[in-house]
Structure 1
Amino acid sequence: MKNDVIQYERTYHRLKNKIECGILPVGTRLPGRSVLCKEYNTSERTIRRALELLAQDGYLEITARKRPTVISAFAAPQGRALLNARKADATQVNDLIQTGRLLCYPIYLRGMRLCSGSDWETPEALFAHMDPEQPDEFWQLCNRLWRFFIARNENELLLRTVDSLGFQEKEPPQSSPEDRIRYCSHIKNLFQTVKSGGEPQETELEQIFGPYKRAAGQGEDRQFLQMVSPCPLLAKTDTLERRFSLVQERYSTVCLDLLGLIAIGRYQPGDRLPTHDRLQEIYGVSRDTTVKAVRMLQDWGVVTTAPRRGICVEMDLEGLKKIRISPESIACHVRRYLDSLELLSLTVERVASHAAVQARPEEVEQLRKDINRQWEQPYEHQLIPRTLLDFIAEHAGYHALQSIYRMLAWNLSIGRSIPKLISPDKNPQNILIYRQCMNAADLLKSGDAERFAMAAVNVFEQIRRLIMEECRRLGYWDAAMLVYDGKSLWR
């Protein structure tokens, strides 16, 4: 099964990371395509496409009958990322700035706290070379510095999520040498606080994003670059979900989701699944994708198909438990699920606290009713955490933040689709999660946004711990960890 990230994009980003981090310094000649094919376990066509993109972005020089050569550790101004320029909408920029404030602070801090000993050598070397008298190079190195701490979390989904906001390609306009000197002092103070085990104040973190906030405030009367790379700062925020969905292995996602619906009893033996036309509407995929998904279910004996009868469920829950699915065949889905849970547990406190302020009393009461109703219905208790997360996403307040949290809510549903991972019965763990979700809803009803946020953290951190334990017990963990090497993101 292919990886859940388009192969040439994955190869592009892995090589790009190595160039930007100095593993492949300027002047390095890359190995031949056949060597790269073996190293990245992919086809020559994929390698060729990845190298072409790196050349377009100004990282490589490609000459006939010569190996590609690294010519820059930074994207060239004339590269793909800067092909188009237009005046940005200040509201749109502010939406992304506020999304970054809610998401990025805990991600940066956790990346710093994970650093110890020699881990600090790279960020400190980058910081040492940030010359306030050289503004272009200063902000380029600054972007690389913060990206290091994002990558230090060793979570590719987390890295792509932050990249999707585009801060790594944006330079604050018209900063003075004095501004850059002050910025360095804020970074130095932040490093000292984290290294000493202290807790940075919100004001310290605000100083880090200060230049970007000033840029947002000038959006109406200043030209902003419209990035058209995979990580645009000023791209329309309603396309974030679509970009995330493009990197998923579509047909296996549809297949496993249908398998999960059968497992929880939504479809019983003898029931008909939706038609291919309806499946295309539900999942937003092509007919070829739904055909492949149904064929996979047929191969496992879960469904049968026949003219005029449609797609019929053949297997009950006991039969599903006996399906032999290799951990490798679902490793991408398991890894995406684990990565999503980590990103969720890391950021949900700030997002839930923000969402709590936006919710109306009647909406909170409806949330409580929905949770209670799902608990009383057979199998639907598994959907309760998703209901809570959907509520938080709906009230996130910013379009970019909503897009990211809707993606996380969708990925949360992966769990019920992975065979044997989630029990359909009301076991002690399910009872605990139900009580935690109801407690969160009750705290929200009482108007205590801070305690509601902490209750949401407890819910999703509890789920994450349980899933990690189950993945290890079922033998899924090792295969999932091999989907990509988290350490290679930053080392």
Structure 2
Amino acid sequence: MKNDIIQYERAYRQLKNKIESGILPVGSKLPGRGALCRELGTSERTVRHALELLEQDGFLEITPRKRPAVISSFPSPAGRALQNMRKADSALVNDLMQTADLLCYPVYLHGLQLCEGTDWRTPEMILSKMDPNRPEEFWRLSSRLGRFFIARNENELTLRAVDSLGFRGKEPPAGTPEERVRYLTHIKALFRAVKSGNAPEQEVLDAIFSQYRMIAEQAGECQFHQLRSPCPMLAEAGGAGQQLSLTQERYSTVCLDLLGLIAIGRYQPGDRLPTHAQLQEYYGVSRDTSVKAVRMLQDWGVVTAAPRRGISVMMDLAGLKSVHITPESIACHVRRYLDSLDLLSLTAERVAAHAGASVSSQEAERLQASILRQREQACEHQLIPRTLLDFITEHIRYDALRSIYEILARNFSIGRGIPKLVSPDINPQNSEIYQQCIKAVSILLSGNASMFAKTAAEVYDQIRSLVITECEKLGYLDAAMQVYDGRALWH
């Protein structure tokens, strides 16, 4: 059930990364389409579409009966990628910079800590080429070094979230040789600390992440670009979520979401689902997509549908647990769910601390009342972690970060679309998670935003561990890991 959009975007990104990194240098010829199909594991139609996008963005020149030639390692200002050029708004740049600090900081650090043995070859090679006397190349290599550690997390969603902020392709102003020497010293100190198993000094990390601040501070002096392609350099903050949503498999997303609503008891046997027109409006999809989603539910025997009689539910959760859902049919969704939980567990503490600092006591009281009510309602207890996540997301003050967290919150609901992951009863594991959520809110009511953040982060880390364990038991994990090769992002 691989979606064409997912495939050609992935092919596009893989080839673009090779061009930008110099693996396919300017002047080189790409392999023939047959070889590309084998290399990328996809169809000729997908490869052709990806090549067309690369040509539109100014990376390739495509001539009939000749292999595509690389003509630039950067997107062309005249290409599809660069549109609506404008001076960067200082509030927008600050929004992106603060988002980078809250989102990229823990991801970067985790990528560093994952490195071991031969993993260090690439970053050490990059480091060896960073010459303080060549400022342009120095900062370009520094950006590449940072991207390596982000990619080391082997999470495509995380990599795309970071790229959507737009700092990629933007380097700080040259500065002085002395500043670059100090910067290089900090990176070497960071490497030494991590390799020896010690925690990096905060001063060192702050100095390295000052690169984002230096980029932002030059915003008033140079042009930033607002991009609408899958390879943004500086996107609208509010558009970050749209960038991440592009690859969602629409009809199976609708199908699994409806399945989840049935699983948690929102729709009972005999109830009618929304009409196709209502589904199209709610999910923002075409009629063809809603028809495909309902047809999949029909094939599983979950619903019946007939003209002028509507779409009726035939099963409850007990019946859904007997439905045979092949791991391959939901692999993309399970992988997105796991990727989202990974990113959430890495960033939740910093983001929750930021959000909790602006919560009023009245808002915290309303959250507590909502969670306690859900705790007592059949099936609704399963929504408690999502309710807490939605609350955190609503109180994020930076548009780019909020947009990314809205995607994570939506992806968090994928779990309720997999019946065998859903429990109608409060089992011991669920009970512990709900108590942690209630504890987090009680701490927030006391005014301790940092402890609230730590407790909330523990909730999502625990959920991530439980979901991985259950997916492995159900046979979903292997299929999900085959959706893409995480090592290929950095290895």
* Letter of the structure 2 residue corresponding to residue 209 of structure 1: F
* d(CA) in 2 for partners of 1:224, 1:17: 21
Aligned residue in 2 for 1:395: 395
* Paired amino acid for 1:470: E
TM-superposed CA distance for 1:458, in Å, is 1.1
- Following superposition, the deviation at residue 164 of structure 1 comes to 0.6
1:460 equivalent in alignment to 2:460: yes
SS at 1:199 equivalent: coil
Counterpart of 1:161 in structure 2 is 161
Secondary structure of the residue that 1:169 maps to in structure 2?
Answer: coil
Structure 1 counterpart SS, 2:357: helix
Q: Percent sequence identity over matched residues?
A: 66
Shift of 1:304: 1.1
Q: Secondary structure at the match of 1:311?
A: strand
The letter for the 2-side match of 1:412 is F
**Counterparts of 2:110 and 2:46, CA distance in 1:** 34
SS of match in other structure, 2:85: strand
Contact 1:88 1:234 in 2 (8 A): no
Following the alignment from structure 1 to structure 2, what is the Cα–Cα distance between the partners of residues 124 and 41?
31
What are the Cα deviations for residues 417-459 of structure 1, in whole angstroms up to 9, with x where unaligned?
0131222221111101110101111111111122111111210
The structure-2 alpha-carbon separation of the partners of 1:79 and 1:236, relative to structure 1 and needing over 3 Å to count, comes to same
Q: What code does the residue aligned with 1:148 have?
A: F
Query: CA RMSD, aligned part only?
Result: 2.1
Aligned residues between the structures: 491
Measured against aligned partners, the alpha-carbon deviations of 1:296-337 in whole angstroms (never above 9, x if no partner) come to 111111111123321111122222111111100000000000
Q: 1:27 and 1:234 mapped to 2: Cα distance?
A: 27
Deviates more, 1:423-432 or 1:335-344: 423-432
Q: Corresponding residue for 1:252? A: 252
- For 1:349-388, list aligned pairs within 5 A: 349-388=349-388
Q: String of CA shifts for 1:177-223, please: whole Å, max 9, x gaps.
A: 33333322222222222222222233322222324323424434543
> Contact (CA 8 Å) 2:27, 2:69: kept in 1 or not?
yes
Worse-superposed segment, 133-142 or 441-450: 133-142
Match in the other structure for 1:9: 9
Q: Which residue of 1 aligns with 2:281?
A: 281
State the match for 2:486 in structure 1.
486
What amino acid is aligned across from residue 196 of structure 1 in structure 2?
S
1:195 counterpart residue number:
195
Give the equivalent residue in structure 1 for 2:326. 326
* Whole-Å separation in 2 of the counterparts to 1:27 and 1:215: 31
Residue-by-residue CA offset, 1:15-58 (whole Å, 9 max, x unaligned): 23344455556665432102222332322222122223334545
CA contact (8 A) 2:29 2:69 kept: yes
Corresponding position: 1:418 with 2:418: yes
Paired with 2:408 and 2:247, the residues of 1 have a C-alpha distance of 14
Q: Provide the secondary structure at the position in 2 that maps to 1:226.
A: coil
Aligned partner of residue 304 in structure 2, secondary structure:
strand
Whether the aligned pair in 2 keeps the contact of 1:20 and 1:144 (CA below 8 Å) is no
How far apart, in 2, do the equivalents of 1:39 and 1:221 lie? 43
Q: 2:203 & 2:64 partners in 1: Cα distance? A: 53
Between 458-467 and 186-195, report the one with greater CA deviation.
Answer: 186-195
3-state SS of paired residue (2:455): helix
Deviation, structure 1 residue 59: 4.5
1:60 and 1:68 in contact (8 A); partners too: yes
Q: Alignment partner of 1:304: what SS?
A: strand
Deviates more, 1:200-209 or 1:14-23: 14-23
Q: 1:127 to 1:76 in 2, by over 3 A?
A: farther
Within the alignment, does 1:172 sit opposite 2:172 as a pair? yes
| Per-residue CA distance 1:360-401 (angstroms, 9 max, x = gap) | 111111111111010101100110000110111111111111
Structure 1 residue 306 corresponds to structure 2 residue 314: no
What CA distance in whole angstroms lies between the structure 2 residues aligned with 1:215 and 1:437?
38
Q: Which residue of 1 aligns with 2:433?
A: 433
Letter in 2 for 1:308: R
Distance (Å, rounded) in 1 between the aligned partners of 2:75 and 2:266 = 49
**Matching residue's letter, 1:472:** E
Letter in 1 for 2:389: L
1:117 paired residue number = 117
Supply the distance in 1 between the matched residues of 2:118 and 2:41 (Cα, whole angstroms): 30
Pairwise CA distance, 1:351: 0.5
Contact 1:106 1:346 in 2 (8 A): yes
Q: Which residue of 2 aligns with 1:337?
A: 337
2:411 alignment partner AA = N
Q: d(CA) in 2 for partners of 1:121 and 1:351?
A: 32
| Higher alpha-carbon deviation: 175-184 or 43-52 | 175-184
Matched, 1:212 2:216: no
Q: 3-state SS of the aligned residue for 2:422?
A: coil
SS in 1 for 2:31: coil
Q: Structure 2 regions of 5+ residues with no counterpart?
A: none
2-structure distance, mates of 1:120, 1:5: 34
Q: TM-score, normalised by structure 1?
A: 0.94
The amino acid that maps onto 1:245 is: S
For 1:392, the aligned partner's letter is I
The residue aligned with 2:230 is 230
**Change beyond 3 A, Cα 1:419–1:250:** same
The corresponding residue for 1:241 is 241
1:261 and 2:261 equivalent? yes
Shift of 1:81: 4.4
What's the secondary structure of 1:425's corresponding residue?
coil
Q: 1:471 maps to which residue?
A: 471
Q: Is the 8 A contact 1:173 1:215 kept in 2?
A: yes
Task: Compare 168-177 and 62-71 and name the one that shifted more.
Answer: 62-71
| Counterparts of residues 30-69 of structure 1 (less than 5 Å) | 30-57=30-57, 59-69=59-69
